[in-house]
Structure 1
Amino acid sequence: MESTVDTIKIDLQTVGFDSSPQLTEQVKSELNRLLRFRKDIVAADFYLSEDGSNPQTNKLVRWRLGVPGNDLFAEARTASWSSSLREAGEKLRRQFVD
C-alpha cells in the first residue's frame, strides 16, 4: 500500500497478513515522530512480517528511510507492531546524530 505524509512517499508492505487502518495510522504516527528530528526525508519503506515461532518476538519491522546521501535502515522484532515500529524508529533516530 502506498500513501503519503506531507511530501514523503510511504510504501507499506505486509507479508502474510492484511494491514488494518489502525496499523497504517501507527506507521504514519511513527514517521511523523521522526520528522521532528529530520526534515529531508523523501521516502519511507516499511516491511512488516509475522514469524509464528515465538510470540514474544513475532512482529518484525524493517524500515528504510530515503534521505539525501545514503538511505538509513533499521529493523526491530518484538511482541507488538507498535513497539516494533517504535524501536525501529529509535534506531533510525540514533543514526541521525551519528
Structure 2
Amino acid sequence: MDYAIDSIKVDLQTVGFDTTPELVDLVERELRRIMRFRKDVVAADFYFNEDGTNSENNKVARWRLGIPGKDLFAEARSSSWGGSLREAGEKLRRQFVD
C-alpha cells in the first residue's frame, strides 16, 4: 500500500495478513512522532509480518527511513503491532539523535 503523509512517500507492506485501518493509523502516528526529531525525511517503508517461532513475541516490524545520505533501518519484535512499531521507531530515533 503506497500513499503519502505530508509529502513523505510511505510504503506499507504486510505479509500473511491484510492491512487494517488501525495499523495505518499506528504507522501514521509513529511516523509523525519521528518527524518531530527529523525534518528531512523523504520516504518511510514499513514491513510487518508474524514470526511463527515464538508465539509470545511474534509481531515483527521492519522500518526503513529514507533521509538524505544513508537510509536508516530498524527492526523490532513484540506481542503487538503497536509495540513493535514503537520499539523500531525508538531504535531509529536513537540512530539520528545520539
Q: Which of the five TM-score ranges fits, normalised by the shorter chain?
A: over 0.9
Cα RMSD (Å): 0.8
Partner deviation per Cα, 1:45-97 (whole Å, 9 max, x = no partner): 00100112322210000100000000000000110000000000000000012
Which whole-Å CA distance do the structure 2 matches of 1:37 and 1:56 have between them?
A: 31
Amino acid of the structure 1 residue aligned with 2:94:
R
**Gaps spanning 5+ residues in structure 1: where?**
none
- When normalised by structure 2's length, the TM-score is 0.97
Amino acid of the structure 2 residue aligned with 1:34:
I
> 3-state DSSP class of the match of 1:69?
coil
- When normalised by structure 1's length, the TM-score is 0.97
Match of 2:82?
82
Amino acid of the structure 1 residue aligned with 2:66:
G
Residues 1:67 and 2:67 are matched in the alignment: yes
Deviates more, 1:46-55 or 1:77-86: 46-55
Residue 3 of structure 1, CA deviation: 1.1
Residues 1:14 and 2:14 are matched in the alignment: yes
Match of 1:50?
50
Percent identical pairs in the alignment equals: 67
Amino acid of the structure 2 residue aligned with 1:70:
K
Residue 36 of structure 1, CA deviation: 0.4
Count of equivalent residues: 98
Which whole-Å CA distance do the structure 1 matches of 2:45 and 2:28 have between them?
A: 11
